Amino acid sequence: MMNKIQLEVKGMTCPSCEDQVRLILQKVGAKHIHVDHLKGKAEFQLLDGNKEKSIRKELQKTPYQPGKWIRISSDGVKGSLDKAYDYDFLIIGSGGAAFSAAIQASENGLRVAMVEKGEVGGTCVNIGCVPSKTLLQAGHIQSQSANQPFRGLKTSANQPDMSELQKQKDQLVRQLRKEKYEDLIQDYALDFFKGEGFFLDQHTISVNGKDLTSKSFLIATGASPFIPDIPGLKETSFLTSTSALELKKVPNHLVIIGSGYIALELGQMYRHLGADVTLMQRSSRFLKQYDPEISEAVENVLKEEGIRLLKGVQYQKIEEKKGHKFVHIEVDGKTKVIQGDHLLVASGRKPNTENLHGEMIGLKLGDNGEVITNDYLQTNLPHIYAAGDVTLGPPFVYVAAHQGGVAGHNVSKQTKKAQSLEHVPAVTFTTPSIASIGLTEHQAKEAGYDVKTSVLPLQSVPRALVNHQSQGVFKLIMNATNKQLIGAQVVAENAGDIIYAATLAVKFNLTANDIQETMAPYLTMAEGLKLASLTFDKDVSKLSCCAG
């Protein structure tokens, strides 16, 4: 049985004081803690058993002295900050943003509920990061087995058993969904409602005919594949990023509309597993969000692997005949028909806001249906927050988790915290991977910087040479005025791991000299960062191994 306690705490003057008092209460097993330094009190719940003496003793060791101890209730019901509502914080969605917010708010003493219409865990664990990356690794191993670069090794690869790969992938998804999401519902005493939630008014949503009221809300409904308006597409059976991860057989020819990170990852994955692959994009420039050296390096890799890339495509119509897809296009003024047994549509994502009934409460959306927020993640209705892909921010689960944590803090604390998206690393998990942080050369010049760049081909990185895999490039962008690093782009094995060091360099205003004067372990790909920084001033081909 839980007992709700209200304790007077003297001496608190700021939010930091609240954190110290909260930590003491957590150590003795208190739950649903809410500390308010302005009111000089703490509210929390304890299991049966008197721990008053322990709490008082611990507080007396600090500047915060305990006062009156009031037992509010012992009926097992969570305490309330506002009795007018069923909950203090109600979250629509159950992905990375949702759980980050729920944990933060629950630890701060709020009564939290979560609503989810699909599988708990959202996109990343169920249909995104986890399943795609495990199958990408399978494809990489298959490709390496068939095409490894060492002359003295005799390796080969049999036809992959997609059914077994799918079973192993699904087992991993179930395991992580349970451990990282489902189990946390009970651990943090969250109320969970299965069903699709939509607003009835600014403080009420409906879920399966049940009305739930809350003082504050978080919209964390994520995003879904965007389906372009191409004649005949809706009448054709096509794959999305979700269904493409469920195939029980490798396609003969996978045709892909789009060439963004999802198209690249899934396209290369199936190429590694044995499919012919054609990528098509409307833009005349491949990977236009990167500098030309990066897009050129990746395009060369794709071509060498036999992936066909069509740029400047205009889609005329799509047909399906006897299970085969026929994509009618125009390229360079010429009409072509691309035929494949599978068609993947990977042309972006759209926010899941259509069924929220946001128009009923005056919720402001952007041109693409995204929920518009301020830096505190508040919508135009200040008690309603939004986080994650539904805001069309950077499409990464770590960004969603960061935003969720900010929203959870802001809904439960007096002082507001702003989201920080100035230094967001990006990774595409191709082989080699693509990673970036900060400004591109073009963006830096547009922003008015005096720009100096360094471009280091992977052939100049010893790790790549010993691997016999030297396709790739490092590019650094420097503010020539003060030599501070303001951007980095990498195409290399483990680029996603390398980019974290570059992220720290950009965030903390490190200079090229700082990187040059820091030892890098030899025969690691991360050494490429140091070599690229040396390239600002030297020809690294004239240096000995490990020389700086």
pTM of the model: 0.84
| 41-47 sheet: strands from edge to edge | 31-36, 41-47, 2-10, 65-73
- Residue 148 CA to residue 256 CA, distance in Å, equals 27
Which listed residue (85, 290, 385, 546) is catalytic? 546
- Residue 501 CA to residue 179 CA, distance in Å, equals 29
- Residue 296 CA to residue 210 CA, distance in Å, equals 55
Which listed residue (64, 261, 270, 385) is catalytic? 64
Which listed residue (2, 124, 478, 525) is catalytic? 124
Q: Is 14 a catalytic residue?
A: yes
Q: Is 398 a catalytic residue?
A: no
Whether the link from the prior residue into 63 is cis, omega within 30° of 0, is no
Establish how many alpha carbons lie within 13 A of residue 546's alpha carbon, considering only the half-sphere containing its beta carbon. 4
pLDDT of residue 32: 79
Q: Is 124 a catalytic residue?
A: yes
pLDDT of residue 81: 46
Which listed residue (2, 85, 87, 129) is catalytic? 129
Q: Which two tokens stand for residue 2?
A: 């839980």
Q: Is 129 a catalytic residue?
A: yes
| Count of C-beta atoms within a 10 Å radius of residue 153 | 7
- Residue 304 CA to residue 200 CA, distance in Å, equals 55
| Count of C-beta atoms within a 10 Å radius of residue 515 | 22
Domains along the sequence of the chain with CATH: 2-73 (3.30.70.100), 87-125+166-224+350-412 (3.50.50.60), 243-346 (3.50.50.60), 426-542 (3.30.390.30)
Which listed residue (2, 17, 114, 280) is catalytic? 17
Burial 358-386 (b: 16+ CB within 10 A, else e): beebebebeeebbbebeebbbbebeebbb
Write out the DSSP string of 404-450. HHHHHHHHH-SS------SS--EEE-SSSEEEEEE--HHHHHHTT--
If the chain, 548 residues long, is cut into consecutive pieces of 10 residues, what is the mean pLDDT of each piece? 79 88 87 85 74 85 87 48 81 97 93 96 95 97 95 93 97 96 92 96 94 97 96 96 97 97 98 98 95 96 97 97 95 95 96 95 97 98 97 96 97 92 97 97 97 96 95 97 98 97 98 95 95 88 62
Q: Which two tokens stand for residue 514?
A: 């700082």
Which listed residue (12, 280, 478, 525) is catalytic? 12
E strand intervals along 209-313: 210-219, 223-225, 253-257, 276-280, 308-310
